[in-house]
């Protein structure tokens, strides 16, 4: 039998210290989230009821429910996903599978990085000028969702590109040796094995889209609407803007109401993310490598 030397014991102690350090850092990351959820549940829980979830605001938004804002948020998220995911995946496919390493490709990558760093209020002004005025969509769900889609495109592109690059090159070479074209290889091999990673970008987009306020204030979100939107060219209320308005602009709002709206908003985001994560885990479980 081998007996541990002094150096082995010292290395184990150092390894144990680093393990505790990383554990502490992980707990410090989780703690703020747990505290936020705890405060929202304690202070916003009394506001949650069927009436709160499925009725309209009344009495200048000091009473009633949040149904128009809840439905409007789902509209915005779904339309933004429909607009951004196909474009983002197509751009990532070009950059990962087709584009050569030249000045054009480097310029595109630089543009993606810069787009990710643009403040949301600048996206709002762009959406106002491009979609509301130039394309004449008016202040509508479509204009607001397209603005959100452009804002979140870098997230989808980067996540998809990284996922595509995790597929082993041997898979591509095997298909090419069998006579498959590049597009057949991408469609039959590369994309099916990278869907789980693409969903990571979708999850991040859902979280950011549902919580943004500035990009939708000028493009499609209304402070108050007594009816539900009937199509993408209608205006709509949104949870994030509704939370801002009742927290800062409306007097005599019950103390528990803003916390209740925040709790529902976070619960909605967690539910959408949970579905995406469950689907991603299912797809990962079907991988053969």
- pLDDT on residue 100: 86
Per-residue pLDDT, averaged over 102-115, amounts to 88
Per-residue pLDDT, averaged over 5-23, amounts to 88
Domain boundaries along the sequence of the chain: 6-47, 50-285
CATH code reported for the domain at 50-285: 1.10.3720.10
- Contacts of 64 by beta carbon, 8 Å cutoff, 6+ apart: 51, 55, 56, 57, 58
C-beta of residue 263 within 8 angstroms of C-beta of residue 41:
yes
Rg value, the chain, Cα: 24
Beta pairing partners, 64:
57
- Contacts of 268 by beta carbon, 8 Å cutoff, 6+ apart: 70, 73, 74, 210, 239
Q: What is the pLDDT of residues 111-135, one digit of tens each?
A: 888 888 888 999 999 999 999 999 9
- pLDDT on residue 1: 52
Beta pairing partners, 221:
236
- pLDDT on residue 201: 82
Q: What is the pLDDT of residues 228-283, one digit of tens each?
A: 898 999 999 999 999 999 998 888 889 899 999 999 999 988 888 888 778 777 77
Q: What angle do CA 205, 30, 114 make, to 5 degrees?
A: 35
Spatial separation of the C-alpha atoms in residues 136 and 156, rounded to whole Å: 27
Spatial separation of the C-alpha atoms in residues 221 and 232, rounded to whole Å: 12
Residue 289: is its pLDDT beyond 60? Answer: no
Write down how long the chain is: 289
Q: What is the pLDDT of residues 54-82, one digit of tens each?
A: 999 988 888 889 999 999 999 999 999 99
Spatial separation of the C-alpha atoms in residues 64 and 58, rounded to whole Å: 5
């Amino acid at each position: 039998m081998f007996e541990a030397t002094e150096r082995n014991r010292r290395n184990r102690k150092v390894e144990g210290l680093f393990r505790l350090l990383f554990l502490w850092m992980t707990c410090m990351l989780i703690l703020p989230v747990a505290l936020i959820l705890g405060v929202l549940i304690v202070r916003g829980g009394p506001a949650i009821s069927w009436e709160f979830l499925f009725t309209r605001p009344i009495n200048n938004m000091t009473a009633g429910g949040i149904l128009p804002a809840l439905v409007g948020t789902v509209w915005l998220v779904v339309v933004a996903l429909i607009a951004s995911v196909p474009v983002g995946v197509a751009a990532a496919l070009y950059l990962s599978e087709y584009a050569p390493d030249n000045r054009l490709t480097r310029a595109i990558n630089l543009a993606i990085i810069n787009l990710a760093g643009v403040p949301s209020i600048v996206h709002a002004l762009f959406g106002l000028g491009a979609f509301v005025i130039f394309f004449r969509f008016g202040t509508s769900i479509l204009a607001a969702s397209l603005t959100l889609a452009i804002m979140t495109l870098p997230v989808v592109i980067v996540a998809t590109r990284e996922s595509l690059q995790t597929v082993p090159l041997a898979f591509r070479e095997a298909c090419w040796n069998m006579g498959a074209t590049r597009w057949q290889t991408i469609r039959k091999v590369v994309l099916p094995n990278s869907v789980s990673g693409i969903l990571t970008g979708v999850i991040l987009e859902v979280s950011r889209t549902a919580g943004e306020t500035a990009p939708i204030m000028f493009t499609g979100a209304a402070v108050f609407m007594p009816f539900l939107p009937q199509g993408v060219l209608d205006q709509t209320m949104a949870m994030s803007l509704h939370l801002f308005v009742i927290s800062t602009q409306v007097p005599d709002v019950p103390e528990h109401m803003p916390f209740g709206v925040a709790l529902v908003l976070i619960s909605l985001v967690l539910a959408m993310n949970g579905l995406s994560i469950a689907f991603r885990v299912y797809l990962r479980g079907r991988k053969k490598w």
